[in-house]
Amino acid sequence: MIGTGNSVNSITARRRHPLARYAVVALALGLLGGGYAVAAPGGSSADAAIASGKADDVAQGKSLFVAHCASCHGMNAEGTAKAPTLVGVGAAAVDFQVSTGRMPAADAGPQAPRKPLGEWVTPQAIDDLAAYVQSLGGGPARPAAEQVDPAKGDPAKGGELFRANCIQCHNFVGAGGALTYGKYAPPLNPATPTQIYEAMATGPQAMPVFNDSTITPDQKRDMIAYITHVRQQVDPGGSGLGRIGPVTEGLVAWIVGLSLLILAAIWITAKKRRTHA
Amino acid sequence: MDTTPKAIAGVSTFLDDRIGAGSFLKRNMRKIFPDHWSFLLGEIALYSFIILLLTGTFLTFWFKPSMGEVVYSGSYQPLVGVKMSEAYASALNISFDVRGGLLIRQIHHWAALLFIAGMMVHMLRVFFTGAYRKPRELNWLIGVGLLSLALLEGLTGYSLPDDLLSGAGLRITEGVMLGIPVVGTYLTFLLFGGEYPGHDVISRFFTIHILLIPGILLALISAHMVLMWVQKHTQMPGTGRTNKNVVGAPFYPTFMAKAGAFTLFTFGVIALLGTFAQINPIWLFGPYTPADISAGSQPDFYMGFLEGSLRLMPSWEINFLDHTVSLSVLIPALVPLGVVMTGLALYPFIEQWVTGDRREHHTADRPRNNPHRTAIGFTGIAFYGVLWLLGANDEISANFHISLYETTIFGRFAIFLVPALAYFVAYRICIGLQRKDAEVLSHGVESGVIKRLPNGEYIEVHTPAAQDIADHIRGKEEIPIIESGVDGDGIPPKGARTALGRLRAKASEAYGTDHIPLDEGHGHDEHAAIGAGDHSDGHRDGH
Amino acid sequence: MTDNINEQPEGRAPARVIGTPPSNGPILGDEIVHEAKGVPGVIPADPAVAKRAERIVALLFTITFLAGVAFIASYVIFQVGTIDRTAASNYALGSSLSIALLSLAAGIVVWVRQIMPKYNLVQERHPMASDADTKEYVEETFLQGANESGFVKHKMLRRTLLLAAAPLGLAPLVLLKDMGPLPGTALRHTVWGTPTKDGKPRRLVVEGTGQPIRAADFNSPGGILSVIPEGYEEDLNALAKATLILLKFRPDEIKSGTNLNWTHDGIVAYSKICTHVGCPAALYEQTTHHILCPCHQSTFDAADGAKVIFGPAARPLPQLPIAIDSEGYLVAKSDFNVPVGPSFWERGDAEAEAREQKA
């Protein structure tokens, strides 16, 4: 929830309870995290290499990796005490982690949050990094555009799978939820179709893996169709109150409903202030 | 207008000839109702109930209380082709294919929340002002019964649409029922017509929800109203108001018009909520299956405290002689509800026993003037509040990024500490407010006028409090204390000899002792000269 | 706290000359100074104020009329059928209804406050208890009636009447028995124990797709599937007990609490039904192997036999013995060896019994 991208903010902000989310704090934290990521050491020489566009992808990726990732994941992605090996995680994992801003991680919290991208994170840079990591030991590849096109999926079928596999953590519309020890299932609203696909295929952080042989790519596309359909859909009954269920409804009943009625009661019974007949 | 219009005269003559309406109207048309905003809180619940009856009837015209399986083919695209129960499909149909259906459904649900919230605040008003005292104990008990039934009514209604969220609530209900010792399994099989979820529970809940409980509610609410009418409403202390009269406006025309306006306000505010705040969007939840659940599955607010108590409980369970008592289910499901409801029901009688007060009371206490009662009330609110808060600990954890277990562990301590703290704080605030009252009477109120005395000292001139404020303050009643002192021969009275008697005497003394008696003071105070008006420096003696 | 805020006048203490009555006036009868018509306690409204108020009230009532017309028009104009049209219809109907109601309410309040008189009428209260004569009369009448009825004198009458009432009082309760069957041992078994029609062990299928699971396909460590028994995909009663979560571990992750004989190649199946009150416990963290129940936050360690590590659940999630059939699909070897789901009175310590049987 911290520092969601700008383009999706307009969609999601409307669906959130304005006070409950401490939007200001979140924004401040997001900026702080982003600022830290930008200010983090390293990067300038690799950036220059990308700009020149001469070296091949894997080599470029390697130099980006050394600059931005190796301090935690090791010089050859073999993993360290701080972070796991990236051999075999595949291009999909790299794209998910880097394009959502989760990696490079800003701090050692219980969970790496989505945050604004660092300056060096261009589509080209992600391609290079992904190519490098894929070259280390294979793993889930990135989906083709057609594989994640919501228009090609069946939202009704996807909804059934979504309810069977996803909502226990992410909530019935993907508003997110709590996990143990400060971890949380993030809201799905900011995620692009590609990112949703990659998360299922790779199981980032605490999330389990839904591999292609048990949940097929077509079924994943159906789920993406459902998620995107429902998050774009208007709330026909008025404000969605964050779409998190009865908690906000109860607050509204007390704070708005009851307060308005008490104000009306005070008006009805107030003494007439008249000193002369 | 000097003569009654013919039409009205005709109708009233007709009625009077047949049922003698005249004598009833003679006695009651100008019945006096005292005015205070807090006296309208119960009306929120009353009018919400009427709205619930009206909108509920509308909903039954389309709702099908059946668990039979259908394939959805209505207007809501993301569920087309999905198998679901007829109940859920018809609830979707009401929402999307009946004009005004969504509005009425939302109004029904908001009215349900305000029905119970209204009852709660009304009950708190009655409690804190001591309006449950003799002769109104019966009406208080009816009120406790109404609240309990309303919770049950809410639970059965919440389950009807058979969506994934309501199913989670139903599953928890089943799990708790199974935990009841000896008969739990049998009760569960009777209610669900066999194993959970079966095919009967929705239609059974439907009958309970639309016929059985509303029927009882209607009867009890009528009795509640009749008793209120017969006993006349309590009034706040004030000028000219005594325990033997009631001062206010007549039923016809003023109170009638005010009640009508408040009905419309209640309906209007609920309609506003139904228009602009989406409630229970069942289409987002999907059809019920016992295999699935959503993060943040929550009951409606009035069940939140039970959810919280279930979450707080450590994993205690007893196995003996091939039988199981599941304490981690039973204690949280029964104890808080039992403590709150039994405590409410017994309070008037316990208070009577402690104070020995058998008099009729028609003037409301101001909460500050009975500090122990007020503190006990706030203890109850704090107890309920902590449980309610913890019922939403997953949303708190997810949205404010607090570790989930930390919220639970906090709750395990808070459930004991916060109520105790609330008692202490509320008691001290009451005493402080009483002190303020006493000061207003003895020293008057600040006039804003600064005077310089001949000796160079500056003082602010105090003026006596306005008549109605002073009378309001003087309405404070002494809380009686039972006789427990020893008589001339050093023998305590009969009742105070047993351990229970000694406890009673002690409680009575603590409950009734007035630490801040009102002192109709003599304003010859060095810092607060009481002047009546800014042009007079005459001191005012007493009253 | 319910403080009496309405009853206080504006400002603190209005300045006044000693000897004049306070501005708010005492309330009782002949002391009232602003009496127009002489009805004590009824202070008529100021005609000028009433005149102005009348116009406001009329305006508000007219708004209600217009909003009411708009409501009916909205019903006709705004059709439903798609979610966007439902939204438009809801806004149109709801806002016109709200305006109509609130405007009417406001109109009446202005009417009451500005046009109707101010009242300070007093009515006496009388003790609720009846007077002594009435009480005496009632008591006498009661005794007289009781004696006349013969209820007191005829002992046999009294006793047989009570006797007659007892079974009739129980009859309605007896009638309720057929609402459901007796539990028997139904809660101890799930459909995993019943073989398929052709006598083969029952296959595990994916919830939502109904596809059987080839063990070789479920090969990504950290994977989870929600699994139901083949042939019972639509049977909610069966699913309420038999739903599973299927987890894939690296071999070195599994700890001693898990029965290895009941796993296949690092694949473990646990009951999805929480042992607390029966919610599907399905939040799985592949890094910590925690299974969290979203209802009351019982947490189980999936790598260690799903033992409870936090929350109100008292027992681990039961593990289902699984294997593969000749085609490589996952099947149940047998039913759970303990009852699944929440505790019930007859359950007893089934885990201890199961251990004894094994030993």
For B278-308, write each residue's pLDDT tens digit: 999 999 999 999 999 998 888 999 999 999 9
Residue A153 in this model has a pLDDT that exceeds 70: yes
- Asked whether the beta carbons of residue A159 and residue B286 sit closer than 8 angstroms, the reply is yes
B269 touches chain C (CB under 8 A): yes
Neighbours of chain C (3+ CB pairs under 8 A): A, B
pLDDT band at B422 (very low <50, low <70, confident <90, very high): very high
> In angstroms, what CA-CA distances link B254 with A10, A82, B240, B507, C5?
50, 76, 20, 44, 21
pLDDT for B525 equals 46
**Among partner residues C5, C90, C213, which is closest to A237 by beta-carbon distance?**
C90
- Asked whether the beta carbons of residue A238 and residue B285 sit closer than 8 angstroms, the reply is no
Parts of chain A belonging to CATH 1.10.760.10:
1-142
Gap between the Cα atoms of B188 and B180, Å rounded? 10
Average pLDDT, integer, range A25-31: 47
Residue A27 in this model has a pLDDT that exceeds 50: no
Gap between the Cα atoms of B147 and B45, Å rounded? 10
pLDDT band at A72 (very low <50, low <70, confident <90, very high): confident
Q: Hunting for tokens 């208007």 — which residue is that?
A: A234
Residue C135 in this model has a pLDDT that exceeds 80: yes
Are C248 and C219 spatial neighbours (Cβ–Cβ below 8 Å)?
yes
pLDDT for B471 equals 87
- Asked whether the beta carbons of residue B367 and residue C2 sit closer than 8 angstroms, the reply is yes
**Which one has a higher pLDDT value, A73 or B523?**
A73
Spell out the domains of chain B, with CATH numbers in brackets: 31-234+256-290+305-364 (1.20.810.10)
Residue B205 in this model has a pLDDT that exceeds 50: yes
> In angstroms, what CA-CA distances link A274 with A160, C48, C113, C205?
66, 13, 11, 78
C292 touches chain A (CB under 8 A): yes
Residue C359 in this model has a pLDDT that exceeds 60: yes
Could you tell me which CATH class the domain A1-142 is placed in? Answer: mainly alpha
Residue B169 in this model has a pLDDT that exceeds 80: yes
pLDDT for B495 equals 67
- Angle, to 10 degrees, between the axis of helix B393-400 and the axis of helix B404-443? 100
Lowest mean pLDDT among A251-265, B470-484, C118-132: B470-484
C219 touches chain A (CB under 8 A): yes
**Secondary structure of residue B284 in the 3-state scheme:** helix
pLDDT band at A1 (very low <50, low <70, confident <90, very high): very low
pLDDT band at C6 (very low <50, low <70, confident <90, very high): very low
Are A80 and A73 spatial neighbours (Cβ–Cβ below 8 Å)?
yes
pLDDT band at C33 (very low <50, low <70, confident <90, very high): very low
> In angstroms, what CA-CA distances link B219 with A33, B213, B222, B226, C185?
61, 10, 5, 11, 42
Average pLDDT, integer, range B480-492: 71
Tell me the CA end-to-end span of chain A in Å, nearest whole number. 62
Tokens of B456: 């160079």
C339 to chain A, minimum CA–CA distance in Å?
Answer: 23
| Domain range list for chain C | 24-119, 186-358
CATH number corresponding to C186-358: 2.102.10.10
Tokens of C220: 């990504």
Give percent of chain A with pLDDT exceeding 70: 78
pLDDT band at A10 (very low <50, low <70, confident <90, very high): very low
C117 touches chain A (CB under 8 A): no
Give percent of chain B with pLDDT exceeding 70: 93
pLDDT for A11 equals 45
Tokens of C261: 């004989």
Residues 33-92 in A contacting B (C-alpha not used; CB under 8 Å): none
pLDDT for B238 equals 87
pLDDT for B3 equals 84
pLDDT for A103 equals 85
pLDDT per residue over A35-58, tens digit each?
444 444 333 333 443 343 334 788
Q: pTM for the complete prediction?
A: 0.88
- Asked whether the beta carbons of residue B37 and residue A181 sit closer than 8 angstroms, the reply is no
pLDDT for B157 equals 94
Average pLDDT, integer, range A162-167: 91
**Secondary structure of residue B264 in the 3-state scheme:** helix
Inter-chain Cβ pairs, chain A and chain B, closer than 8 A: 204
pLDDT for B342 equals 94
Q: Region of A128 please: left (phi>0), alpha (psi -120 to 50) or beta.
A: alpha
ipTM metric: 0.88
Q: Which residues share a beta bridge with C324? A: C330
Residues 286-305 in B contacting A (C-alpha not used; CB under 8 Å): 286, 289, 291-301, 304
- Asked whether the beta carbons of residue A208 and residue C222 sit closer than 8 angstroms, the reply is yes
Are B311 and B390 spatial neighbours (Cβ–Cβ below 8 Å)?
yes
pLDDT band at B486 (very low <50, low <70, confident <90, very high): low
Q: What is the CA radius of gyration of chain A?
A: 23
The mean of the pLDDT values for chain C is 86
A185 touches chain C (CB under 8 A): yes
Q: Which residues share a beta bridge with B445? A: B463
Residue B106 in this model has a pLDDT that exceeds 50: yes
pLDDT per residue over B451-467, tens digit each?
888 888 888 888 888 88
- Asked whether the beta carbons of residue A167 and residue B405 sit closer than 8 angstroms, the reply is no
**Among partner residues B35, B38, B121, which is closest to A258 by beta-carbon distance?**
B121
Average pLDDT, integer, range B496-500: 78
pLDDT for C236 equals 92
pLDDT for B489 equals 67
pLDDT for B485 equals 65
pLDDT for B520 equals 65
**Which one has a higher pLDDT value, A30 or B246?**
B246
> In angstroms, what CA-CA distances link C203 with B199, B291, C209?
26, 17, 14
Residue A274 in this model has a pLDDT that exceeds 60: no
pLDDT for B52 equals 97
Q: Hunting for tokens 């109104």 — which residue is that?
A: B136
B278 to chain A, minimum CA–CA distance in Å?
Answer: 4
Q: Which residues share a beta bridge with B249? A: B33
A119 touches chain B (CB under 8 A): no
Gap between the Cα atoms of C115 and C102, Å rounded? 19
- Angle, to 10 degrees, between the axis of helix B101-128 and the axis of helix B256-276? 130
Question: Which residue from B minimizes the CA distance to C17?
Answer: B533
CATH architecture of the domain formed by A143-258: Orthogonal Bundle (1.10)
B35 touches chain C (CB under 8 A): yes
Residues 80-139 in B contacting C (C-alpha not used; CB under 8 Å): 83, 95-103, 106, 125, 128-129, 135
**Which one has a higher pLDDT value, A108 or C268?**
C268
> In angstroms, what CA-CA distances link B383 with A146, B176, B307, B426, C88?
55, 21, 14, 14, 43
Gap between the Cα atoms of B543 and B252, Å rounded? 38
The mean of the pLDDT values for chain B is 89
Residue B243 in this model has a pLDDT that exceeds 50: yes
- Asked whether the beta carbons of residue A241 and residue B165 sit closer than 8 angstroms, the reply is no
C-chain residues within 8 Å CB-CB of B464?
A: 13
pLDDT for A77 equals 83
B-chain residues within 8 Å CB-CB of A233?
A: 78
Gap between the Cα atoms of C15 and C22, Å rounded? 9
C148 Cβ contact partners less than 8 Å away, ≥ 6 residues apart:
none
